[in-house]
Amino acid sequence: MAWIEIRGGMLSGTGRREVDDGLILGRSDECDVVLDDSAVSAKHAWIRRVGDHYTLIDLRSTNGVVLNGERVDEAVLRDGDTFSLGEVVCRFHDRDRRGDMLADQPANPCPVCGFLVPGGISFCPRCGQEMVGSTAAGSSGIGKPSLRVREFVRAMSSLAFAGGLVGPLLLGIGWILGIVLGIMVLSGYRSECEPGDERMARLGILLGLLWLTLGAWLAVYLRR
């Protein structure tokens, strides 16, 4: 079981929240954990469960996420890690056997970006570089992070939304892009989507279908 202790910024409830399959933290009422801090973005950070470990992801916040004194975009969480969002400080706890095993192993610097990678992890959570010689490589069950894939998904979601938005423009293929790319994101890359990416993909599909319906209605009307 994993949970976080929260100091400061809680609008309601206790300062302890179980993570379960993941949590989104921010000022918006749509978040799982709503924080009362002007330095916290509407949707600031996401604690995402990936297999048997958890990853802390900055959701393009204004003031960033600081993990153990270092600003990060994405990092694997270990038992005892402390991270801050604005003035809110959170401590992560994960007492299962896997979390304890990783926490007890020494960290190694990434040869590319210098990030301290927990022992037993076969990749760098920041840049995706494979950790050569890692004892976990090929046997840990934790795959390399999908940073490049997530960038690809982000671009696809943006194109889907833009295509659905322009509709019949772009030689009439805008609505097709919205539907096709949106379906590709949701069906093939849903596990890699951030909340904003999934929302844009869905909007791209809906807008594309709207333009398609209007076009079909207009075609029938003009034939009368």
Please tell me which residue, 134 or 91, carries the higher pLDDT value.
Answer: 91
Compute and round to an integer the Cα radius of gyration of the chain: 21
With a pLDDT cut of 70, the percent of the chain lying above it is 71
- Can you list the alpha helix ranges (DSSP code H) found in the chain? 97-104, 147-166, 169-172, 174-188, 195-223
Residue 11, pLDDT score: 54
Residues contacting 101, CB < 8 A, separation 6+: 120
Residue type, 26: G
Contacts of 157 (CB under 8 A, 6+ apart): 181, 182, 185, 193, 196, 197, 198, 200, 201, 204
Average confidence (pLDDT) over 103-109: 62
Q: What is the pLDDT of residues 47-58, one digit of tens each?
A: 999 888 899 999
pLDDT digits (tens, 9 = 90+) for 20-35: 889 999 999 999 999 9
Q: What is the pLDDT of residue 66?
A: 92
Give the pLDDT score at 144. 41
